[in-house]
Structure 1
């Protein structure tokens, strides 16, 4: 094995360890936010020293969890093609992906901005900018009448959080979709129907 191949193998192993640690941390902290790094290491199947090598402190691990989730959100924007796809379709795809991420990363979502932590994805300026771009496109296409993207973003994020907190059997979830729709579809449908009504638009065609 050449030196270059060996170096690539080391980097690949390190990335795999980091992914395992981040996944384990999400699982462990979702059950017990005060869990130790040793518990995270046990869940990840690595040593405590391995966790400490990548994340010297609990705070660096928390920061990494937020960065990882932010990256996933940014990837969702790319997948939704919010700058080129018809904006209503992009909004639907993005909202669907956001609910999936929020469900799969319950602990990270609870992290709030502090002087030592980058905070939740909603506080990331890159995500805010992309949402503002999407709402500007929705206004330009005539899908909404509200013309302030920042206000639209704030309404969207607040509504998104409220819909996410609804229990799965909430009657309200069934107002915008068919009775046999999945819980995910129901949440997306309720979010978009309510949002577009509030912003002076019409629900997207299904």
Structure 2
């Protein structure tokens, strides 16, 4: 892919993610305008809004997959892995603000990928408990929900936090609020 085509695709995906998160009925023309491309460029690549939405979801999943790999959830020390995960996933959440529940309802392939990624985080939560970083009586579903909500809050309710600052706050809150005494 030519460099200008790659830039255009990236601009379209990011504009689409932002606009479709704000209003799922956003027109393709509005996405094209926000991305700085003409409508024919957009329609050449994406036949309709659903095709664009699917591509946005795949881009979000690709970014999340990179974060999971780089965090080294299975081998890095738990606090280090958690910090890496949060520091990486906060920007992903900000850059690709589309709700993953919508993705899972409309795109079966994306749903399967998202479930596999979610299973990796669930396994990390269990590892955290098994290694004594979380209290043994903490329900794993509750712990995961708390982590997800902390990440979401840091990403969207506190947009001025840098990713390292967000990670510091989320890790401290998660580990001290649910951590072993």
Task: Pick the TM interval, shorter chain.
Answer: 0.7 to 0.9
Q: Show the counterpart of 1:128.
A: 118
Unaligned runs of at least 5 residues, structure 2:
none
Task: Tell me how far apart the structure 1 counterparts of residues 100 and 119 of structure 2 sit (CA, whole Å).
Answer: 21
Q: Show the counterpart of 1:85.
A: 76
Residue 23 of structure 1: which of 14, 23, 40 is its match?
14
In angstroms, what is the RMSD of aligned CA positions?
Answer: 3.4
Task: Tell me how far apart the structure 2 counterparts of residues 168 and 25 of structure 1 sit (CA, whole Å).
Answer: 20
How far did 1:22 drift?
0.8
Task: Tell me how far apart the structure 1 counterparts of residues 101 and 30 of structure 2 sit (CA, whole Å).
Answer: 20
What TM-score, normalized to structure 2?
A: 0.76
Query: Are the structure 2 counterparts of residues 128 and 38 from structure 1 closer, same or farther at C-alpha, using a change threshold of 3 Å?
Result: same
Q: Show the counterpart of 1:179.
A: none
Which protein has greater RCO, CA pairs closer than 8 Å, 6+ apart?
Answer: 2
What TM-score, normalized to structure 1?
A: 0.68
Unaligned runs of at least 5 residues, structure 1:
1-8, 170-181
How far did 1:31 drift?
6.6
Task: Tell me how far apart the structure 2 counterparts of residues 101 and 114 of structure 1 sit (CA, whole Å).
Answer: 17
Task: Tell me how far apart the structure 2 counterparts of residues 156 and 92 of structure 1 sit (CA, whole Å).
Answer: 12
Work out the number of aligned pairs and report it: 179
- Rg larger in structure: 1
Q: Show the counterpart of 2:170.
A: 191
Query: Are the structure 2 counterparts of residues 153 and 111 from structure 1 closer, same or farther at C-alpha, using a change threshold of 3 Å?
Result: closer
How far did 1:144 drift?
1.5
**Structure holding more helix per residue:** 2
Task: Report the 3-state secondary structure (helix = DSSP H, G, I; strand = E; otherwise coil) of the residue aligned with 1:112.
Answer: helix
